């Protein structure tokens, strides 16, 4: 039997990068997948559906609580439960603190931190109604542990996400709901490569930050998600799992 047979997975930012890789792999493992994203990408949905599972798109701006509540409700209406969640949607900033606009600060925090709070609030409400509980995985970052110049909003949001993950894990540990976080290093995703303009010089710099001297693949993070979401990690909650090619050990 596949690990996620008869399970329903809800994935934010599931149209590209890590989110899409996660959706494809969990569909392959038998899950029904709900992709929550700002706009529909029919090609991404076809790729996910090609793995044999049912897939549904729900429009969702995670920075708006009412959008998230509606997306979770649509998930339940379509499939009857919510067993696995990957809160993956995120954006980055690129300016020094003293130059950062208030708009930029709030935009990043609203998506990366408040958005995860909104998602967990409504996901947990549903999972507490289910005898089977559920598993939530939040997408952190190496910047949940360290930082770099110019990403004050991003680093703050990802540090805060780990605290939020731990509190949620504590509050739900006896309700059969596990909450964990992943900390990717630099991964070959559209978000990263578009920001770096894919220059050879910048790519070499990013690779050099990792002990393995390469960037990660979205599928490598997706496999970590599948582990944390599955019963293979049944005694694991409140954890931060770095999947960073040795970035943090240097």
What residues are annotated to the active site? Answer: 154
Dihedral sign computed on CA atoms, order 4, 54, 74, 6: negative
Phi-psi region of 195 (alpha: psi -120 to 50; beta: other; left: phi over 0): alpha
Strands 55-59 and 84-87: unpaired
Chain centroid to Cα 104, Å, comes to 21
At 9, which helix (H) or strand (E)?
strand 8-12
How many CB atoms are located within 10 Å of the residue 215 CB?
19
> Helices 102-109 and 152-172 sit at what angle, rounded to 10 degrees?
30
CA pair distance 50, 44, nearest whole angstrom: 10
């Amino acid at each position: 039997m596949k690990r996620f047979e008869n399970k329903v997975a809800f994935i934010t930012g599931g149209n590209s990068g890590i989110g899409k890789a996660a959706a494809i792999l969990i569909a392959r493992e038998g899950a029904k997948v709900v992709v929550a994203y700002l706009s529909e990408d029919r090609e991404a949905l076809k790729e996910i559906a090609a793995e044999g599972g049912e897939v549904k798109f729900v429009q969702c701006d995670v920075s708006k609580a009412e959008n998230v509540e509606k997306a979770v409700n649509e998930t339940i209406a379509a499939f009857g439960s919510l067993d696995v969640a990957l809160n993956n949607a995120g954006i980055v900033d690129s300016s020094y603190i003293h130059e950062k606009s208030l708009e930029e600060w709030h935009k990043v925090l609203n998506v990366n931190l408040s958005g995860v709070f909104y998602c967990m609030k409504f996901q947990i409400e549903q999972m507490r109604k289910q005898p089977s509980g559920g598993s939530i995985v939040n997408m952190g970052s190496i910047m949940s542990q360290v930082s770099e110049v110019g990403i004050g909003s991003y680093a703050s949001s990802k540090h805060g996400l780990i605290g939020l993950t731990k509190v949620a894990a504590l509050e739900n540990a006896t309700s059969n709901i596990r909450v964990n976080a992943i900390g990717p290093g630099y991964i070959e995703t559209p978000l990263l490569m578009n920001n770096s303009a894919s220059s050879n010089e910048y790519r070499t710099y990013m690779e050099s930050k990792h002990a393995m001297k390469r960037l990660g693949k979205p599928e490598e993070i997706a496999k970590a998600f599948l582990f944390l979401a599955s019963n293979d990690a049944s005694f694991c909650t409140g954890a931060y799992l770095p999947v960073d090619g040795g970035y943090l050990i240097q």
